[in-house]
Amino acid sequence: MAYTDFSFKKVLPLSLFMIVLSAAIVTTFAWKADAFGSTPFFRAVRLFAEETAVYGIFAIRHYDHQLAAAAASVGGPDTAAASVPTASLAQAIPVLTYHRLGVFGSDNQNVSLQNFMDQMETLSANGWHTITLEQYEAFMKGKIALPAKSFLLTFDDGAQQSVYPVDPILKTLGFTAVEYIIVAASEEQGSTYYLSQAQIAHMLASGRWEIGSHSYDGHREYPTGPNGETGVFFADKLWLPDQDRLETSDEFAQRVTRDLTEAKQDLESTYGVTVNTFAFPFGGESGINAAGNFPQGESTSEQIASQIYDIGWLQTARKDFTYNYPAYAGFLQYRIHVDHDWDGQRLLAELENGLPKVLPYTDSMQENRGWMDSWGTVQAGGVLALSATSSQTSASSILDGSRLWKDYEFDATVSWHTGYAFLLADATNARTYRDCTFADGVVEIQDTTNASITTLKKRFDSSIKSGDDIPLGIRVSGDTISCLYDGNVVLTYEGLASRQGGIGVQAWNPQPGTAGLTVTHVAVSAL
């Protein structure tokens, strides 16, 4: 190599460049190993790019919103504040469930990034803020007070796409969230879908995330028969192919206990955190959706889980009261599953409708303030219209946010032409309530507990008629319940145990598909 110059002035700068370059490369891979673990490199690059892009996009968007809000506040007082009066301290907490974000649009299962940004921005701009799981638990135990408009944000499954596009938004808004981890999936090496252990540790270190258990390995299909039948890990007896039989009830209980215990221990020892909560895989509004070879499966799992964890989440809310109330929460607690097509205003409405309402309450039904479609077809907006579906004999709607009311008179202007119109009071859920029932020539007082109806009192009165715009009322006060027709008390029953409970309306007619009523005005006043 005769035509070269290896002098000091050539070698030194290159050596320095090489040293810096090598250091940069080594640092890059060390950082990747630390923050992403076994996640494939290019997946990590993509997630990092997504995270960075979302951070930039959302920061600009948030800044824009703040400018717009500042400009609007100069113009005068906020006119939107004329909504339903609610308490200034939280009395109950809503919990949101997401799975992962569709970064490039919604996929009918998951909320799109666009919608999620809109949702969080809207909630934040309207005074909503997240709380930590620790705060939630303390609040539910009555240990701390929280401001109204507090909510808990949760993500199920531990997917990468539930953290990288989300975290920058949390960071900008000062929000926190809880991730429910499927332990076996997080231990899988090189996954492009699930968070690796390193990613989970990294996200916990940010201080914006907490974790909970989503089972050790109960989030996939398991065989329940010899011919490819499948069932649910926490509800069905599983097939034991070696012994050519289904497992016994004891084996079921042992299996569930082992999974739930291992999940908790594994998460706690790996990440050095306390894991007190469990999100049921496939946990729908009525409990776990079972394939059904073991009727006691669900309750057995619930019972076992309640001995290992403090809270067992279902992934959707009930169709009565969507929030979790400290005084009434059991082991199973509910979450609002955010639909893929909800924008920010829609989610805000869902949350604000559930805020505990303060008496007196009037509702001209111009917009839906929380009339839930407990069953049947319920349409709200303009009027509240209930109709039974073609196979059903009744339709029912509970007013969300009325759970804590006690001793009140509920008046409604009701139109119905066939069957029975019910006004519900003291409702603790959609299946447990007291009611006044009106039909042509008859009024009844009933006490319904878990859908089991007891008629307390009944009176025939030819002046009671169905028709248009009939003023009906129900009054619950102390141990007395009274029914009002056209402003007059038409029936009274004494001897009830007084309790907190909300209101609702219901239509019933023995012939399927015919029950229905509409409500145009509601007024509830404390007694």
Partner 1 sequence: MPNRTRRKPWPYLLADAWPWFLFAAAVYAILVLKTATISSISNEWFFGFYSLLVTSYILSRFLLSYFHVAPEADPTYEPSISFVVPAKNEEDNIAETVRRFAQVDYPPEKIEVITIDDGSDDGTYQAMLDVAEEIRPKVGRVEVVHWEVNRGKRDGMAEGVKRAHNDIIIFIDSDSFIEPTAVRHLVKYFSNPRVGAVSGHTDVYNRDTNLLTQMQAIRYYIAFRVYKAAESVFGLVTCCPGCCSAYRRAYLVPIIDEWLNQQFLGGKCTFGDDRSLTNFTIRQYDAVYSAEAKAYTVVPDSFLKYVRQQQRWKKSWIRETFIAASFMWKKNPLAAVSFYMYIFLAFASPIVFMRAMFWYPIATGIIPVVYLAGLFLMLFMHGLYYRLTVGRRSWLLAIADFWIVTVLLMWQLPWAMVTLRDSRWGTR
Give residues in contact with partner 1 (CB under 8 A).
1-6, 10, 14, 17, 20-21, 24-25, 28-29, 41-42
Least distance to partner 1, CB of residue 39, Å: 12
CA atoms 319, 323, 327, 330: torsion sign: positive
CB nearer partner 1, residue 189 or residue 345: 189
CB nearer partner 1, residue 193 or residue 222: 193
CB nearer partner 1, residue 1 or residue 80: 1
Least distance to partner 1, CB of residue 246, Å: 40
CB nearer partner 1, residue 41 or residue 63: 41
Nearest to 436 by CA among 462, 463, 464: 464
CB nearer partner 1, residue 32 or residue 65: 32
Tell me if residue 116 falls in helix, strand or coil. Answer: helix
Tokens of 522: 């509601």
Tokens of 232: 């649910």
Q: Report d(CA 43, CA 190) in Å as an integer.
A: 10
Least distance to partner 1, CB of residue 193, Å: 15
**CA angle (366, 358, 384) in 5-degree steps:** 25
- Which residues lie below 8 Å from residue 227, measured CB to CB, with a gap of 6+? none
Identify any residues that bridge with 284 across adjacent strands, giving them in sequence order.
Answer: 287
CB nearer partner 1, residue 13 or residue 382: 13
Nearest to 207 by CA among 138, 130, 145: 130
Least distance to partner 1, CB of residue 19, Å: 12
Residue whose token pair is 């968007």? 61
Least distance to partner 1, CB of residue 271, Å: 27
The separation between CA 453 and the C-alpha centre of its own chain, rounded to angstroms, equals 29
CA atoms 180, 186, 190, 196: torsion sign: positive
Least distance to partner 1, CB of residue 188, Å: 17
Least distance to partner 1, CB of residue 104, Å: 13
Tell me if residue 59 falls in helix, strand or coil. Answer: helix
DSSP assignments along 258-284, one per residue:
HHHHHHHHHHHHHH-----EEEPTTEE
CB nearer partner 1, residue 52 or residue 286: 52
Least distance to partner 1, CB of residue 22, Å: 9
Nearest to 492 by CA among 450, 443, 453, 454: 443
CB nearer partner 1, residue 1 or residue 71: 1
Least distance to partner 1, CB of residue 54, Å: 19
Least distance to partner 1, CB of residue 3, Å: 5
Least distance to partner 1, CB of residue 42, Å: 6
Q: Report d(CA 234, CA 525) in Å as an integer.
A: 45
Identify any residues that bridge with 191 across adjacent strands, giving them in sequence order.
Answer: none
Least distance to partner 1, CB of residue 111, Å: 25
In whole angstroms, how far apart are CA 385 and each of 84, 364, 395, 451? 21, 13, 10, 22
**CA angle (395, 401, 404) in 5-degree steps:** 110
Would you state the torsion angle of the CA atoms of residues 323, 325, 328, 332, taken in this order, to the nearest 10 degrees?
50
- Which residues lie below 8 Å from residue 103, measured CB to CB, with a gap of 6+? 50, 112, 113, 161, 165
CB nearer partner 1, residue 5 or residue 242: 5
Q: Would you say 441 and 460 are in contact if contact means Cβ atoms under 8 Å apart?
A: yes
Least distance to partner 1, CB of residue 13, Å: 9
CB nearer partner 1, residue 26 or residue 527: 26
Tokens of 136: 């939630």
CB nearer partner 1, residue 26 or residue 240: 26
Consecutive H or E run containing 351: helix 344-354
Q: Report d(CA 43, CA 161) in Å as an integer.
A: 11
- Which residues lie below 8 Å from residue 520, measured CB to CB, with a gap of 6+? 364, 365, 383, 384, 413, 415, 469
CB nearer partner 1, residue 10 or residue 417: 10
CB nearer partner 1, residue 63 or residue 104: 104
Tokens of 69: 């809000």
Q: Would you say 39 and 190 are in contact if contact means Cβ atoms under 8 Å apart?
A: yes
